[in-house]
């Protein structure tokens, strides 16, 4: 038994799974109703389903964010804003410029979603070019889009919230008719499978880690470090695009001020909770995804406890600081020193 535990402790998924269990335990004691799942109007219903459903955007963002963190030891803080821009860009194609509320769309839904994702990709290209080619610190580079993307989104929507009151548009963010599982969960599974396929079938994962650990040595091995870095930012942008379209479909509108709000924090937290070092290098995609759902579980729990969405970031900020402090080499060596000192003291007593 002890052996199993020790092996598990070494597993990279140790931290995310423990965190997840911790959050679930808190809920179990507070309100066992958290775990009940029912069927209402032909669709699944319950808190757990809610966590999986609402956590979709964070999970999708975490896929891109994990790569960015691994390759550049920095984070993309523009993802939330890019989500908003993608949502606005996609919706404008469907509603036409300046219309606040439509009941039918002027273009195929698929085209709108595609355009939205492309907007995300373009943002990723801009970030990638700044970081990989101009060597700007990742966070300063993405800070530009962090403010600008949301503003551009507002421009596209003529400073209004455009509603699309057209049933099929709601499918992506809610339910397909006849399917009891919320669509975002399905999309997330699709994205995760896609990501796993890319990591399994191509050597991108190896390249990303190699560049993140030692970009000079990687270059000598024949890897184009700049290109790999650029690709990661583009993937991150595309993920933000997908997440943005889901968020938009959920509320069947393009609300540039609120879509993706504080999601950059959640996605970074997901990566950190997933046991990935924010200093780059090795990454673990599964950890990030478990981390993403843990974050959502925390959020849901907080909301259930009566904390408002605006207040939740306080708790998350404290968790982030705690995790990065534990990860910090300075802190680790300090702990190590204390441990050996204690040991020595013990031996001295004996």
Partner 1 sequence: MAEQIRKAAARGKRISGNNLLLLITILLFVAMYAAGCVIYGAKGFTHFQTFLNLLITNAGLLCVTCGMTCVMLTGGIDISVGSLIAMDCMILADGMTNKHIGAIPLIIFVMVIGVVFGLVQGFLVSYMQIQPFIVTMAGMFFGRGMTAVINTQQVSITMDSSQTFYAWANAKINLPAFLGYMGRRKMIVPFIRPTVIIALLVCVVIALVLKYTKFGRVLYAVGGNESSAKMMGLNVKRAKLEAYVLSSVLCSIGAILYCMNTMTGAVTQAKGFEMDAIASAVIGGTLLTGGVGTILGSFFGVLITGTITTLVMTNGKLLSSWSNILTAALLCFFILLQSIFAYIKNRATR
Partner 2 sequence: MAQEEHVLISMKNITKTFPGVVALDNAQLTLRKGEIHALMGENGAGKSTIIKCLTGVYERDSGEVHMEGVEGNIHCHSTMDAQNIGIATVYQEVNLCPNLSVAENLFIGREPRTKLGFIDWKSMNKKAQELMNRLKIEVDVSETLENYSIAVQQMIAIARAVDMDCKVLILDEPTSSLDDNEVEKLFGMMRKLKERGVGILFVTHFLEQVYQVCDRITVMRNGKFVGDYSVAELPRVKLVAAMLGKDFDDLAAIKQEGNAAEKNEILYSAKGLSHKGTIRPFNFEIHKGEVVGLAGLLGSGRSELVRCIYGVDSQSTGTATMEGRPIKIKAPIDAIKAGFGYLPDDRKADGCIAGLSVRENIIIALQARNGMFRKIPISKQNEIADTYIRMLSIKTASRETLLGQLSGGNQQKVILARWLATDPKFLILDEPTRGIDIGTKTEIQKLVLQFAAKGMSVVFISSEIEEMIRTCSRMLIMRDGEKVAELDSANMELTQENVMAAIAGGDSK
Q: Find the shortest distance in angstroms from Cβ 347 to partner 1.
A: 30
Residues 214-243 that bind partner 2 (CB under 8 A): 214, 216-224
Q: Does 135 bind partner 1 (CB under 8 A)?
A: yes
Q: Among residues 214, 262, 277, 286, which is the contact residue for partner 1, using CB under 8 A? A: 262
Q: Does 207 bind partner 2 (CB under 8 A)?
A: yes
DSSP 75: -
Q: Find the shortest distance in angstroms from Cβ 160 to partner 1.
A: 10
Residues 318-347 that bind partner 1 (CB under 8 A): 318, 320-321, 324-325, 328-331
Pairing outcome for strands 43-46 and 101-102: unpaired
Q: Does 97 bind partner 1 (CB under 8 A)?
A: no
Q: In a 10 Å sphere around its CB, with 0-12 CB exposed, 13-18 middle and 19+ buried, how is residue 73 labelled?
A: middle
Q: Among residues 130, 191, 223, 289, which is the contact residue for partner 1, using CB under 8 A? A: 130
Q: Does 159 bind partner 1 (CB under 8 A)?
A: yes
Alpha helices in the chain (DSSP H): 2-10, 14-30, 47-54, 56-72, 79-95, 109-128, 138-156, 183-201, 204-213, 215-220, 225-250, 263-273, 285-304, 312-327, 329-349
Q: Does 162 bind partner 2 (CB under 8 A)?
A: no
Q: Tell me the C-alpha distance between 132 and 227, whole Å.
A: 7
Q: Tell me the C-alpha distance between 336 and 343, whole Å.
A: 11
Give the contacts of 51 (CB within 8 A, at least 6 positions apart).
293, 296, 297, 300
Residues 280-309 that bind partner 2 (CB under 8 A): 281-282
Q: Among residues 21, 25, 317, 345, which is the contact residue for partner 1, using CB under 8 A? A: 317
Q: Among residues 78, 210, 253, 300, which is the contact residue for partner 2, using CB under 8 A? A: 210
Question: Three-state SS string across 140-155, please?
Answer: HHHHHHHHHHHHHHHH
Query: What 3-state DSSP class applies to 44?
Result: strand
Give the contacts of 286 (CB within 8 A, at least 6 positions apart).
13, 274
Q: Tell me the C-alpha distance between 297 and 54, whole Å.
A: 9
Please tell me the number of Cα atoms within 13 Å of 321 on its side-chain side: 6
Residues 60-79 that bind partner 1 (CB under 8 A): 74-75, 77
- The window from 91-99, 110-118, 128-136, 225-233 that contacts partner 1 (CB under 8 A) reads 128-136
| Residue 143: contacted member of partner 2, partner 1, none (CB under 5 to 8 Å, by partner type) | partner 1
Residues 272-291 that bind partner 1 (CB under 8 A): 278
| Residue 25: contacted member of partner 1, partner 2, none (CB under 5 to 8 Å, by partner type) | none
Interacting residues toward partner 2 by CB under 8 A: 200-204, 206-207, 209-210, 213-214, 216-224, 281-282
Residues of this chain that bind partner 1 (CB under 8 A): 74-75, 77, 130, 134-137, 139-141, 143-148, 150-152, 154-155, 158-159, 262, 265, 268, 278, 308, 310-318, 320-321, 324-325, 328-331
């Amino acid at each position: 038994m002890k052996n199993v535990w020790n092996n598990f402790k070494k597993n990279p998924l140790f931290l995310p799974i423990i965190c997840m269990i911790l959050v679930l335990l808190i809920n179990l004691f507070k309100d066992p109703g958290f775990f009940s799942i029912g069927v209402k109007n032909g669709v699944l219903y319950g808190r757990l389903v809610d966590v999986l459903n609402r956590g979709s955007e964070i999970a999708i963002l975490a896929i891109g964010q994990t790569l960015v963190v691994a390759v550049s030891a920095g984070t993309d803080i523009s993802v939330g804003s890019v989500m908003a821009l993608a949502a606005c860009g996609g919706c404008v194609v469907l509603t036409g410029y300046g219309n606040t509320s439509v009941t039918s769309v002027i273009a195929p839904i698929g085209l709108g979603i595609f355009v939205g994702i492309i907007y995300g990709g373009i943002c990723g290209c801009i970030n990638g070019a700044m970081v990989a080619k101009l060597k700007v610190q990742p966070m300063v580079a993405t800070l530009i889009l962090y403010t600008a993307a949301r503003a551009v989104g507002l421009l596209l929507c003529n400073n209004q919230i455009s509603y699309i009151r057209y049933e099929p548009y709601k499918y992506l963010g809610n339910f397909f008719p006849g399917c009891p599982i919320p669509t975002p969960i399905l999309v997330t599974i699709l994205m995760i499978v896609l990501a796993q396929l890319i990591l399994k079938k191509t050597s991108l994962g190896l390249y990303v880690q190699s560049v993140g650990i030692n970009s000079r040595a990687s270059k000598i091995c024949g890897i184009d470090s700049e290109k790999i870095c650029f690709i990661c930012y583009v993937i991150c942008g595309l993920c933000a695009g997908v997440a943005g379209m889901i968020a938009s479909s959920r509320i069947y509108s393009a609300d540039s001020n609120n879509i993706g709000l504080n999601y950059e924090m959640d996605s970074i937290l997901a990566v950190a909770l997933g046991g990935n070092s924010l200093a780059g290098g090795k990454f673990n995609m599964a950890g990030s995804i478990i981390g993403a759902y843990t974050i959502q579980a925390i959020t849901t729990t907080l909301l259930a406890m009566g904390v408002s969405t605006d207040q939740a970031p306080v708790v998350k900020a404290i968790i982030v600081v705690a995790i990065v402090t534990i990860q910090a080499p300075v802190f680790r060596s300090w702990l190590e020193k204390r441990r050996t000192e204690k040991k020595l003291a013990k031996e001295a007593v004996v």
